[in-house]
Each structure stands twice: as C-alpha cells, then as structure tokens.
Amino acid sequence: MKKVLGLFLLSLILVAFTGCPKRPLVPPVSQARLDAEEAIASATKAISAAWEVEADTTEAESLLDEARKAFTDGDYGTATSKAHEAELAANKAREEALAKVKVEERKEEIKVEEEKAAKIYVVGTWEKDRDCLWNIAKKRTIYADPWKWKRIYKANRDKIKDVDLIYPGQKLIIP
C-alpha cells in the first residue's frame, strides 16, 4: 500500500511540475483564418494610408481583392499571402508618392530661392532709357552682355507676350 501511495504521490508531483500536455487553444484551421483576417485588415490599412498621399494603389487593391476572394473560398493560406503582397504594394506606392511630393516641394523651394536671389528691374521708357530686352541685358549692372536677353525673357514669359514689346513700369525678374 505504501508503494502504491508513493507512486501516486510521485505521479502527482510529476504532473504538477511538468503540467498537462499543451493543446493548441485554437484549431489550426481557425488559426489560419485568423491570420488571413489580420493580414487583410493590415493590407486595408496600408491602402488607406497610401490613399491619403494620393498614391496609385491599383496593384495593391487588385491583390487585396484576390485575397478577399481566396478568404471567401476558404483558402486562408493564399488569402494571407495575397494580403501581405497587397500591403507591400501599398507601402511601396505610398513611399513613391511621398518621394514625388518631396521632389516637387524641393523644386518649389529652389524656385522661391531663385526668385529671392533675383533682381527686379523696372522698365523705363524708350525715349529716356532706351529699354528693350537687348539693352537691359547689355547694362553693366545686369549682365554686361546683350546676347543674354533670352534669360530675362525666359524668367518673365508670364509677363512678356511678345519679345519686342515691353512696357514702361513693367517689373521684370532678372535671374
């Protein structure tokens, strides 16, 4: 009897220290379904973030549609992989759109800096100053070279419709 009681206590101690064999809390099919749902939700968030910066998300949306169809068909592995691909495509599109915005912002900054550095020349009369693009470029305080009149014209295309016609009082940017 002591031996039986000893074995019983020993087995009870072993069970207490090692525990019962662990069973998965969620069956494998349900876990695959949960993984697919999570991946689809994550891809949806990534696409939304890409929309916010006006990125082209057509590829990501197509992949997400494939993931949702696979999920509906019960193919959770394919749904998960397609959703991950959609998320990667959306993130890539977002990064490209942000890079494009940064380039445009930098171009605008450069343009503003150039305008700040540029001089403003107020056109005088022909009778008094003999102002035309050629003569303005020829002035020592401008370029000291009449052949550079095209620079003035290019910087002021919005103000000068005809290169032969500039008007007294017109403010020209001298780059």
Report pTM.
0.54
* Residue range 164-174, pLDDT digits in tens: 889 899 988 88
Give me the residue spans of the domains in the chain.
28-110, 118-174
Q: Which CATH class is domain 118-174?
A: alpha beta
Structure confidence at residue 9 (pLDDT): 72
Confidence of residue 109 (pLDDT cuts 50, 70, 90): confident
**Burial of 136 by CB count in 10 Å (0-12 exposed, 13-18 middle, 19+ buried)?**
buried
Chain-centre distance for alpha carbon 116 = 29
How far, in Å, CA of 1 to CA of 144, rounded?
119
Confidence of residue 64 (pLDDT cuts 50, 70, 90): very high
Confidence of residue 39 (pLDDT cuts 50, 70, 90): very high
Which of 35, 96, 29, 40 lies closest to 66 in space, CA to CA? Answer: 40
pLDDT at 6 over 70: yes
Mean pLDDT of 6-29: 67
Confidence of residue 59 (pLDDT cuts 50, 70, 90): very high
Confidence of residue 50 (pLDDT cuts 50, 70, 90): very high
